[in-house]
Amino acid sequence: MDRPIRVLVSKPGLDGHDRGAKVIARALRDAGMEVIYTGLRQTPEQITNAAIQEDVDCVAVSILSGAHGTLIPKIAELLRKEGADDVLLVAGGVIPQEDIPFLKEHGVAEVFTPGTPTDVTIQFIRNNIKR
Amino acid sequence: MELAERLLMGDRRAAARLISMMENKDPEAQEIMRQLYSQSGKAYVIGITGPPGAGKSTLTDKLVKHVRKTGAKVGVIAVDPTSPFTGGAILGDRVRMSDLATDPGVFVRSMGARGHLGGISEATSAAVKILDIYGAEYIFIETVGVGQSEVDIVKNSDTTVMVSVPGLGDDIQAIKAGVMEIGDVFAVNKADRDGANRTAREIEMMLDFSHADWRPPVKMVVAVDSKGIEELFAAIEDHRHYMMEDGKFMLRRAENARNELLEMVKSRIVEQLLNHDVKAERVEQLAMDVATRVVDPLTAAEELIQSVL
Ligand code: B12
Ligand SMILES: Nc1nc2c(ncn2[C@@H]2O[C@H](COP(=O)(O)OP(=O)(O)OP(=O)(O)O)[C@@H](O)[C@H]2O)c(=O)[nH]1
Ligand SMILES: [Mg+2]
């Protein structure tokens, strides 16, 4: 593919931990992707609207606040409502293993917890974007 | 439904997709833009340029909110540099425009300069037209004002706002060196900091050297606190009204179009050379011949031009 993959990297909810999101943003950029970084404290509505205007292939959210159980399904639902369900949704951050099956049932394609090498994420995005 | 029809109806997903397709030089999108070109040209295009970190995004956010009070639909195109090594980019202008994301009357699009042939200006002018047809009445283009290609981007605009900040003495020098001429309105942002008056004075002094008909106003603003935004926008509107007198507006648009045309011709010629195996090989050969003084560059260039005509 000769076009860069576009990824929205965002931090939903009241969560000030932005190191992981920045690490991921840089890693994706270094892998040749165009990363649109939205910054902290985004609502699911803001994230969805940004994803649509930016026509991204992937929405990547970083959550360390513990609120993943409500925020991620909400983002997935809004994307679906907007007809943007061809957008790949991935998440990362401090998310307990036992919560991951629930999140996957609710629209997230994969969850990357601390310690995951960034290459794994990069490969996952490359292999799973839907267009 | 067809992308073109959806765009005409103001469908934002269609607008978003068409911008991507034009960035990727998709022939289908190019065909659509040929068809729809005559429908564009209604929006007023405002360029926001200035050195990195001057507060261009913050200022754009505040200007957009100000314009939105009138109910007018707004488009924003924010350009950030692409890494020359990986082709990737971090486009961070949205961080300062978060609130705009939930306003249905605003469409914000980030673009990587990508550095490919013909440069970013071609993709940005396509995005301007798409947002124009989409229904935006005002379009803001934010770009980093450092090099020539960035200057070309704001050559898509009807009014260009040059943003400066206090305390960057060298910065004024840099602006002086080339991009100063493109400012129709000057904003001294971060006027909450020491030295803003001095920066404003320095700009005024530089403007004294110019004898153009339009004297660019210099406005102090504190973008983070929304101070001076009304006055800055009034200055933009003054420039707009000035441009509307005796055909100056169309002359400016013709000048912009001329620039766009010549850039397109240039990039098409280079593309024809580089996308053609034999010709591309010849380019490499001639480059070596020029380096080794087998041939002079003028003769080599003429040969290449002949080969695509
Ligand atoms: C540093 C830190 C802070 C710093 C944050 C600085 C900053 N600007 O980021 C400070 C001191 C400010 C802070 C504050 C708080 N923190 Co704190 N903090 C941490 C700590 C120690 C490390 C986080 C970190 O930066 N790691 C380094 C980065 C690079 O790793 P990462 O974020 O995990 O990201 C990696 C992966 O998760 C993944 N990833 C992350 N995001 C994404 C996204 C995508 C799309 C992908 C693919 C991958 C991915 O890839 C990254 C690279 O490998 C963690 C504990 C821990 N070990 O995780 C607690 C921790 C996150 N904090 C915690 C808490 C409770 C707080 C506070 C509420 C404390 C308080 N009571 O005040 C505040 C809240 C602040 C706020 N406004 O949100 C808890 C959260 C508990 C929970 N989730 O239930 C943790 C887990 C500590 C704990 N064990 O209790 N914290
Ligand atoms: N003190 C002060 N800081 C400001 C003002 N306006 C913006 N800033 C800060 O300046 C920094 C850069 O602002 P941006 O709006 O991102 O600047 P920019 O010109 O868009 O930056 P690039 O797009 O990276 O070139 C941020 O930390 C802003 O909060 C201002 O009026 N006063
Ligand atoms: Mg900016």
Q: Note the pLDDT tens digit of each residue in B239-289.
A: 999 999 989 999 999 999 998 899 889 888 998 999 889 999 999 999 999
Minimum-distance CB partner of B12 among A3, A38, A52:
A52
Question: By alpha-carbon position, which residue is closest to atom 51 of ligand 1?
Answer: A20
What is the 8-class DSSP label of residue B120? H
Would you list which residues of chain A are within 8 Å, Cβ to Cβ, of chain B? 2-4, 6, 25-26, 28-39, 41-43, 45-47, 49-50, 52-55, 82-84
Q: Are B142 and B79 in contact (CB under 8 A)?
A: yes
B186/B218 Cα distance (integer angstroms): 5
Residue type at position B177? A
Q: Where exactly are the structural domains of chain A?
A: 6-125
Q: Are B57 and B163 in contact (CB under 8 A)?
A: no
A42/B95 Cβ within 8 A: no
Angle between helices A44-53 and B12-23 (to 10 degrees): 50
User: Which residue has 């754009």 as its token pair?
Assistant: B60
Nearest chain B residue to A3 by CA distance is: B24
More confident residue, B156 or A48: A48
Calculate what percentage of chain A has a pLDDT beyond 90.
Answer: 94
User: Which residue has 């340029």 as its token pair?
Assistant: B49
SS3 A93: coil
Q: Which residues of A touch B90 (CB under 8 A)?
A: 25-26, 29, 35, 37
For chains A and B, CB pairs below 8 A equal 87
Domain B41-105+138-246, what fold?
Answer: Rossmann fold (3.40.50)
What is the 8-class DSSP label of residue B158? S
B107/B136 Cα distance (integer angstroms): 8
pLDDT at B118: 44
A45/A76 Cα distance (integer angstroms): 11
Q: How confident is the model at residue B114 (pLDDT cuts 50, 70, 90)?
A: confident
Q: Are B167 and B59 in contact (CB under 8 A)?
A: no
How close B213 gets to chain A, by Cα (Å)?
A: 39
ipTM of this complex = 0.95
Minimum-distance CB partner of A36 among B19, B82, B94:
B94
Q: Are B185 and B239 in contact (CB under 8 A)?
A: yes
Using a cut of 0.80, tell me whether the model's pTM lies above it. yes
Q: Is A96 exposed, middle or buried (CB count within 10 Å of its CB: 0-12, 13-18, 19+)?
A: exposed
- The mean pLDDT value of chain B amounts to 90
**Alpha-carbon torsion, ordered B183, B238, B204, B45, to 10 deg:** -10
B6/B36 Cα distance (integer angstroms): 12
Q: Are A37 and B92 in contact (CB under 8 A)?
A: yes
Q: Is the pLDDT of residue B108 over 80?
A: yes
A4/B87 Cβ within 8 A: yes
- Classify domain A6-125 at the CATH superfamily level: Cobalamin-binding domain (3.40.50.280)
Selection from A114, A39, A103, A115 nearest residue A68 by Cα: A103
pLDDT, tens digit, 9 for 90 and up, residues A6-48: 999 999 999 999 999 999 999 999 999 999 999 999 999 999 9
Distance A62 CA to ligand 1 centre (A): 10
pLDDT at B171: 54
Nearest chain A residue to B107 by CA distance is: A53
